[in-house]
Amino acid sequence: MPTEPKTIFIAGEWSGAQSRASLEVRSPIDGEIFAAISRGGKAEIDRAVAAARAALSGPWTTMAGFERGRIMSKLSALILDNTEELAQLEARDTGKPISQARTDIKATARYFEFYAGAADKVLGDVLPFLDGYQVTVQREARGVCGLIIPWNYPASMFGRTIGPALATGNTVVLKPAEDASMSCARLTALAHQAGLPPGVINLVTGLGEEAGAALSQHTDVDFLSFTGSPEVGTLIQTEAAKNHVPCVLELGGKSPQIVFEDADFEAAAKTIVSVITQNAGQTCSAGSRVLIQRSIYDRFVAVLREKMTEVRVGAPAADLQCGPVINRAQQVKVKGFIERATSDGINVIAQGTLDKSAVATGYFITPTLFGPVPVKHELAQDEVFGPVLAAIPFEDEAEAIAIANGTAYGLVAGLWTENGARQMRVAKKLRVGQVFINNYGAGGGIELPFGGVKRSGHGREKGLEALKEYTVAKTVVLKHG
């Protein structure tokens, strides 16, 4: 009889689910079951929230910021010391190429390094007021933070959400995605090893509709962060509203890459193909639409075709440009987009190649470039979350902006032009949270505030801006005469 998994971490102790139920973990590489996680639910969430609440009365929230920072720095160092172990776990769990998994683990360490340095720099304000008064605005920890993270970047999302939460003195209940939570469990163990007091980080594995729902509905949670689909984000925000709990939501995108006639073709095409095939296109900020000025459309598409044709898809160990998508359901969904676009008569410009390491039982998708794609087609409007790129021609600056803003999303945009005035004009008119000019992604951008508008959500993560989300302002008015 297999050993019951113990992937739930509450108040410094590992355990299984109270029900003894577990969930099988299938690798996207070959579809094989390679592990199991505990199927936590409401009972485990209740215990985890209680532990996090109790820890607020312990040393964590009263210790000096630099002392919290030292523990977080130790965690960062431990992550780097265990990079290869964590990367192999992440690659097996998510299917991403091993070099990308290593990059993700290093980014996770960088989050804790960055926020360790920020822990004693959460500043308030002194406000001018009436004579005889002293007014200060202090930033205080929100309290118990419920964090629900997705399966596409589990390790780095661990750092992205927990880093600023800890820096500001909060305690945490983390619910990782059931499809990819193995690295989160190992990172939680390292956090405990680094010296975090019991109850500061609590981890509950399980299904979103069980553990995730229980966390979002909990009446003793002070703050919620969720990254995932707009549909689930709506449910999270609805539950949060019932308890008057603030939340940060990052809900995906349909990000445009806008290529003007004076762009550097080689640099633009290389980056555009790279970011749509990275993590098999399963990135909220993936540039899934490439808007190309009509005067250069054919010439630029020829360069894109060359780059897309060079993409190879295979298992993580082969360390190619693209791995599988996360599960069978996602594979079916992405293939559906490709099949419908083809049946609608949209031209396939180019496709990548499946490597021999891409086994038939794995969840692999051939990266595909379509074009020209009508602006109202689902391929130009809906988030595919796979390695599918839609090429769309535009006539001039005004049309480019209209097309770029013409979806329900507003997360990131890429702008490719050497014209400085145009760079500023267009960047100002794009309704998104981030604009990259002649680059895209900026190497992960731990320091760069990240978040969207419209259906892409609200609130900001990353950078110093995230510290504001995890704190609440308190105004203190002193009359001294």
Residue spans of beta strands (DSSP E) within 54-99:
none
Q: For 290, phi and psi rounded to 5 degrees?
A: -115, 115
Q: Which of 262, 251, 252 is CA-nearest to residue 437? A: 262
**Enzyme catalytic residues:** 250
Q: How far, in Å, CA of 417 to CA of 398, rounded? A: 15
Q: How far, in Å, CA of 387 to CA of 282, rounded? A: 8
Q: How far, in Å, CA of 346 to CA of 82, rounded? A: 47
Q: Which of 368, 320, 318 is CA-nearest to residue 340? A: 368
Q: How far, in Å, CA of 412 to CA of 286, rounded? A: 8
Alpha carbons within 13 angstroms on the beta-carbon side of residue 330 total 24
Q: Which residue has the tokens 């979002």?
A: 216
Answer whether 401's CB lies under 8 Å from 360's CB.
Answer: no
DSSP 454: G
Q: How far, in Å, CA of 49 to CA of 215, rounded? A: 8
Q: Which string of DSSP letters, residue by residue, matches 332-396? A: HHHHHHHHHHHHTT--EEEE-EE-TTS-TTS-----EEE-SPPTTSHHHHS---SSEEEEEEESS
Classified as helix, coil or strand, 29 is coil
DSSP 3: P
- Each as own residue / partner, the long-range contacts of residues 457-460 (CB below 8 Å, 24 or more positions apart, any chain) are 457/230, 457/233, 457/248, 457/249, 457/250, 457/251, 457/252, 458/248, 458/249, 459/225, 459/247, 459/248, 459/249, 459/250, 460/248, 460/433
Q: How far, in Å, CA of 370 to CA of 372, rounded? A: 7
Cβ neighbours of residue 227 closer than 8 Å, sequence gap 6 or more? 148, 149, 150, 157, 249, 250, 251, 284
Reading the block at residue 247, the tokens are 């939340």
